[in-house]
Structure formats: C-alpha cells, structure tokens
C-alpha cells in the first residue's frame, strides 16, 4: 500500500469527505490547525492505530503536519499497518500560503513549529560550543556533535533532536486531549455502524 499525497487545493476541495489527522505536537496544533482536524501527535500514533483503522474504513484519512515530513512518516507507519492515508503536500505551511484559514483557539499559546525549534536549539548549541571552545577546546566537540546529528537527520529522514524536543511540556498533549480525540473518532465509528 503506497501512501498518496494531496495538494492544498485538492485537499480543500475534498475537506468535507476527509477525516483530517494532525500529527504535530499539541502546542503546534493549538497555534493553528485545519478546522475539524483531530490532533494525534506522531509520538502517540501507535496508541491510535485501532481507532485510525476504523476511521479509515469509514472514509479517507488526510494526515497533516507543518511541512509534510512528519505526515509522510505517519502515512508510512499507517500503510505498514494496512491503513490507507494521504498526506497534505507542504503541510499547514502550504495550506495557509494558498490562502486557506487555520483555526486558532482564542486562548491558545503560540508554539514554534518543530523544525523552527530544532533550528533554534541546534544553532544555540553550535554557538555555545564555539564560544566556550575559545577557553576550553573540548567544548568544540559539542558543535561537531550537533553538526553530525544534523547531517544524519538529513540523510536518514529522522531527527533525534525533534524527538527530544517533542517531549518538552509545551509540546506534550495532555492525556485528556488525546483520550478525547480518540473518543471522538471512536464515537464517529459507532454512529457510522448504527447507520446514523
């Protein structure tokens, strides 16, 4: 099963028949998401597999992130479990660039997208390694390690720093948020099964 992708205009035209799953962190999701999207962070995707399998049986899944990289990874995981899903090409960045609205709750705090968090932390660590390395040469290895990690991330398509940052409290979903999302998706399955 090969995951497919939808351009923002294609997804916008079909939004009424798609179940949208946003795999960004809860902080990123709260800072702006496609209206009606369900937030299931990538790190919690395994927990949601049974509910997502049922939802995919009911209709098409569209998986969304900020740029399309995490949603493509999520689609590959879903495909490996026999769950068909499409990814939004370019993610919410492309969605808003094409003039489509992102829903932002009034009380939501702004959280940087994960790729911006990674760039900030990586840059800070490299500069710290170079600055401290002026007095203590061994500190330069911090810069070397971060640079090596970035190269590995680009080659492998995975990012250890993003996985670590996703565990920060500002990026973590509250258990009730994930539970509520899964309950809504499960309730939709119950309604479909009963013919309502």
Mind giving me the DSSP string for 3-46?
Answer: -EEE-HHHHHHHGGGEEEEE-S-HHHHHT-B-TT-EE--GGGHH
72: left (phi over 0), alpha (psi -120 to 50) or beta: alpha
CB atoms within 10 A of CB 37: 24
Cα 89 to Cα 87: distance, rounded to the nearest angstrom = 6
The residue whose two tokens read 């080659």 is: 155
Using alpha carbons, select from 104, 103, 105, 109 the residue that is nearest to residue 35: 103
Provide the token pair at 190.
């119950």
Mind telling me the catalytic residues?
A: 65
């Amino acid at each position: 099963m090969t995951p497919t992708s939808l351009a923002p205009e294609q997804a916008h035209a079909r939004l009424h028949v798609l179940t949208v799953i946003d795999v960004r962190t809860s902080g990123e999701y709260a800072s702006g998401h496609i209206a009606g999207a369900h937030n299931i962070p990538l790190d919690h995707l395994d927990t949601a597999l049974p509910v997502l399998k049922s939802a995919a049986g009911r209709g098409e899944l569209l998986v969304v992130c900020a740029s399309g990289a995490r949603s493509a990874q999520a689609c590959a995981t879903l495909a490996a479990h026999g769950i068909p899903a499409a990814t939004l090409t370019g993610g919410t960045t492309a969605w808003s660039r094409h003039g489509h609205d992102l829903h932002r709750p009034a009380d939501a705090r702004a959280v940087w997208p994960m790729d911006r968090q990674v760039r900030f932390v990586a840059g800070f660590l490299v500069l710290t390694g170079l600055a401290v390395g002026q007095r203590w040469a061994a500190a330069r290895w911090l810069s070397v390690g971060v640079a090596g990690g970035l190269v590995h991330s680009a080659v492998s398509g995975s990012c250890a720093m993003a996985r670590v940052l996703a565990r920060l409290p500002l990026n973590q979903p509250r258990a009730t948020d994930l539970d509520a999302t899964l309950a809504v998706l499960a309730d939709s399955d119950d309604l479909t099964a009963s013919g309502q």
